[in-house]
Amino acid sequence: MYEQVVAEISRFVAEDEGNRFADGSAPYFDAPLVGFAAADSPLFRQYQQIIGPFHRTPDQILPGAATVIVWSLPITRSTREANRRENEYPSHAWALTRCFGEDFNISLRRHLVAWLERHGYRAIAPQLDPAWQEYADTPVGVASTWSERHAAYAAGLGTFSLNDALITPRGIAHRLGSVITDLALPPSCSELPEYRSNCLFYRNGTCGACITRCPVGALSRDGHDKSRCKAYVYGTLADLLAERYGTPKPGCGLCQTKVPCEERIPTAV
């Protein structure tokens, strides 16, 4: 079933019309990266200390959970190139990808849940669970009851960056998704790297390119000001660009483009 799950996610990304711009010209996302984490991995208990006690473990979301399936949807080169040219607002293509590409990602979550159920397994997408909740004020800033970035780290898909995003082998410009199931599958990574090892800033003190890419100073050598970032992305930009772009959630992504980790794990600045 390991290969079947990867093949089904990949097929859906390649074939479903939801993964295309409205004019049909190009996809939002390239072929996915897929990883698996054991539902009983100690990491998920540790997240309740690192993120907060409100962060739920896989078995709290789905009793009897065995595996967390996680995927990364890399944003296409043309969209990334368009966003590189911007310094204040996201490009039109990026905003469409953030808004309608995430609608496709929701469809992928639902599709995989239904596919697993047809094969006789129970499954749930934590982001679509009615019990999912976001908290605005926690010791780590804005946080929720399930972090797909942390699930992706547990599945070996990447490590964290200065801007709190995940740097995968295909870079930092992507969308993540996850499904919890009672289907037992072997973990895709037997030994996880240090949780920030893919980021040059944390690896050797170089880079920090994402700091200068942020138009509102939400990034510094001290890390990511989540509140300032959220106010700009979901407040200022949403208000300015909703009508212009036709996207209620345009995103930003400036710190995920025109940086060394945009499309790969960087080896040098």
Neighbouring-strand partners of residue 176: 72
Tokens at residue 124, please? 């749930």
For 166-185, the pLDDT digits (tens) are: 999 999 999 999 999 999 99
CA 126 to chain centre: 13
For 34-56, the pLDDT digits (tens) are: 999 999 999 999 999 999 999 99
End-to-end CA distance of the chain: 40
Which phi and psi angles does 182 have, rounded to 5°?
-90, 5
pLDDT at 191: 86
β 134-135/159-160 pair status = unpaired
Task: Spell out the residues 6+ positions from residue 93 whose beta carbon is closer than 8 angstroms to its own.
Answer: 21, 78, 79, 82, 83
Dihedral of alpha carbons 15, 171, 253, 134, sign = positive
Is residue 72 within 8 Å of 168, Cβ to Cβ?
A: yes
CA distances to 51, 52, 134, 187, 227 from 137, rounded to whole Å, are 12, 11, 9, 33, 9
Does the pLDDT value for residue 138 go beyond 90?
A: no
Does the pLDDT value for residue 137 go beyond 90?
A: no
CB-side exposure of 189: number of CA atoms within 13 Å?
21
CB-side exposure of 152: number of CA atoms within 13 Å?
25
Does the pLDDT value for residue 136 go beyond 80?
A: no
What is the residue-averaged pLDDT of the chain?
95
Is residue 234 within 8 Å of 240, Cβ to Cβ?
A: no
Its pTM stands at 0.95
For 142-163, the pLDDT digits (tens) are: 889 999 999 999 999 999 999 9
The residue type found at 88 is E
> Sheet containing 67-74: which strands, arranged edge to edge?
33-38, 67-74, 174-181, 123-124
Confidence band for 269, pLDDT divided at 50, 70 and 90: low
Greatest mean pLDDT among 29-43, 219-233, 234-248 lies in 29-43
For 63-121, the pLDDT digits (tens) are: 999 999 999 999 999 999 999 999 999 999 999 999 999 999 999 999 999 999 999 99
β 143-144/134-135 pair status = antiparallel
